[in-house]
Amino acid sequence: MKKIKPHHNFFMEKAILEARKSSSGEFKIGAIVVYRNKIIGRGTPKDHITLNPVKHAEVVAIQKACKFLKTNLLHGCSIYVTAEPCLMCSSIIFQAKIPIIVFGAKRSLLPLRKRDVSIHDLVHDSGYNPEIVSGILEEKTLKVFNSKFKCCTKK
């Protein structure tokens, strides 16, 4: 694990703001793509409202960043995600060659998302060596993620 830098907290706060905007029925996850200290892609999950299973927060943010930079490769970018990316999103992040991946809550801590395979296991198969920073504002990102479940259990 790499050393935590102050700007990681700053951009994770921005990702948390996105997560809070998640539509009802979606997971409370936010993702942003940063290029030269500027946010060029933002995303919340859209898979339920678009009826498209690939529209996770990370994918939405990556698609916007690719459109902004007019490329499918995001070499100079970082991605910040409030929760550890799933297998699909990890693969897409690797395909986009994003060199810095920062996330809040680890999958092992998330309700309904606990899996044995982590992004660290997948990176060995990706063909490149991104910097992965985990646990940024973990408590806060978990609280946002779990807010969906608190609201659902009240019914």
The answer to whether 56 contacts Zn ion (rule: CB under 5 A) is: yes
**Cβ 99 vs Cβ 131: under 8 Å:** yes
Order of all β-strands in the sheet with 31-35: 38-43, 31-35, 77-83, 100-105, 131-133
Q: By C-beta, is 38 or 77 nearer to Zn ion?
A: 77
Q: Which helix (H) or strand (E) holds 82?
A: strand 77-83
Task: Tell me if residue 58 is catalytic.
Answer: yes
**Cβ 6 vs Cβ 137: under 8 Å:** no
Q: Which stretch binds Zn ion (CB under 5 A): 2-10, 31-39, 83-91, 130-138?
A: 83-91
- Which residue from 12, 32, 60, 89 is in contact with Zn ion, where contact means CB under 5 A? 89
Q: Which stretch binds Zn ion (CB under 5 A): 3-11, 87-95, 138-146, 147-155?
A: 87-95
- The residues carrying an active-site annotation are 58
Contacts with Zn ion by CB under 5 A lie at 56, 86, 89
